[in-house]
Structure 1
């Protein structure tokens, strides 16, 4: 009996969704008829009318995506629009301490730690900032490397703040472990970015050298896996390497240790 009730419930939900979709389509058709030149409408085929409705739906989706981007920008006010040497930095540019993360967008532990680092920065009162360096792992390539290039493409086409928005969205929405996000140009359109612009940048491989340089810098620092964080004291020049996932409390303890030396 419970199985039948479940099936009935699913069918009911599907029916409601279909009815809602038909109501919306019918409403759009009425709007077209009242807002479009009547003689013109009389000569339009059903295919043409559907195309007009699709255009309206596309415009609605674009408007929603732009609103989403605007809301996300409010959440990333600590990211300056431009940064020295085109670095990917979140927080006060002149902060004493930098958490320099070597991360892989496809890495589940990087994803898990992403929010923790952001929390530390936002509660540091300008003492700590965060620099993201690309370290796409071989086991997650080519997807991880392409996503890293996409972040740099967003930074080039927009600014540092928008790149941080994209980085968090990528981290949260990827399937992980090299499975990726699917079509990246189409994906970035979902939160208000120009997919064609990012797609053309990816096709040109303009930022491949930057990704390779970050990776080699990490290797020279002794990094072999992600996540890894170099804690840099910009006042004394001291640094300390943390390997693996860390909680906000552990990150703060490590920062306090380097400050007390």
Structure 2
């Protein structure tokens, strides 16, 4: 194995350990004073009660709109790698990271699954540290409860209405704040999805067939529980199923092994045998 290729996945683990997260702080007192100044200016410039009322309502609406936009930006922060572009992916396919990545972590999961929640940050950390070598595809597998199906369908609807990035942010919010399932419409609106379009998608249950196909695809490939993650080598089509919420090193080790098999096979085609295309990446996007 060449030094460049053999060390690539080792560096990922090291990069995750050493990475630091930078972020700005929101100073509430400053923002409150700014809003009060705006209202004071509105009152001073009004010449009649009617104009005053209209001006205050307009100012408050502008303030609320700016606050909603700031909240949306904060929610989306950290998910820049989830592109809304369809280049390299199908409509409705949920991919985080470069679509040209050598490896894909295809995860089948249920938002009501505690192990899925615990595992959720692991593939993201791998992708973020991989330098484009690894991406992550999420497929809904709602098998635990009716709530699982409702949340999975909401994820598909927000993806349809607002895009791939909104899908990933909603997924993150559902794992971090389980109680938000009571107001999925509100959450979708906070993410910028048109409330009417989202509600119509939910009412029509237009993605239920897709969810059923996703569950069937997982089971037909040997995944009967969640989370189930297929490590797919997009160069060779070879894949390995890893069940449960395993440590990061488990997935990195599998990718190193697939890479070594490919390099050994290039030297001696009989060493690894014929490699079959991955069914999990060819199936229905979910």
Q: TM-score, normalised on structure 2?
A: 0.69
Runs of 5+ unmatched residues, structure 1? 1-22, 43-48
The size of the alignment, in residue pairs, is 226
Query: Does structure 2 retain, via aligned residues, the 8 Å contact 1:185–1:196?
Result: no
| 2:161 paired with 1:151 | no
Indicate whether 1:76 and 2:79 are aligned: yes
Q: 1:85 aligns with which of 82, 85, 90?
A: 90
The CA distance in 2 between the partners of 1:118 and 1:29, in whole Å, is 43
Partner of 2:165: 161
- The alpha carbon displacement at 1:149 in A equals 1.4
Gaps of 5+ in 2: 1-32, 262-286
1:119 counterpart = 2:129:
no
**Segment drifting more, 194-203 vs 218-227:** 194-203
In 1, Cα distance between equivalents of 2:210 and 2:66: 33
Which structure 2 residues correspond to residues 1-261 of structure 1 after superposition, within 5 A? 33-34=43-44, 36-40=46-50, 60-83=63-86, 84-86=89-91, 87-137=93-143, 139-141=144-146, 143-175=147-179, 181-261=181-261
> What is the CA–CA distance in structure 2 between the aligned matches of 1:90 and 1:172, rounded to whole Å?
18
Q: Is the 8 A contact 1:62 1:192 kept in 2?
A: no
CA distance, structure 1, for counterparts of residue 167 and residue 117 of structure 2: 16
1:188-211 per-position Cα deviation (integer Å, ceiling 9, x unaligned): 233444333311211111211111
Tell me the distance in 2 between the aligned counterparts of 1:29 and 1:71: 25
Q: CA RMSD in A?
A: 2.8
CA distance in 2, matches of 1:52, 1:220: 61
Question: Could you tell me how far apart the structure 2 residues matched to 1:227 and 1:107 are?
Answer: 8
Could you state the TM-score of these two structures normalised by the residue count of structure 1?
Answer: 0.75
CA spacing shift, 1:53–1:210, aligned 2, 3 Å:
farther
Deviation at 1:121, TM superposition (A): 0.5
Shift of 1:260: 1.9
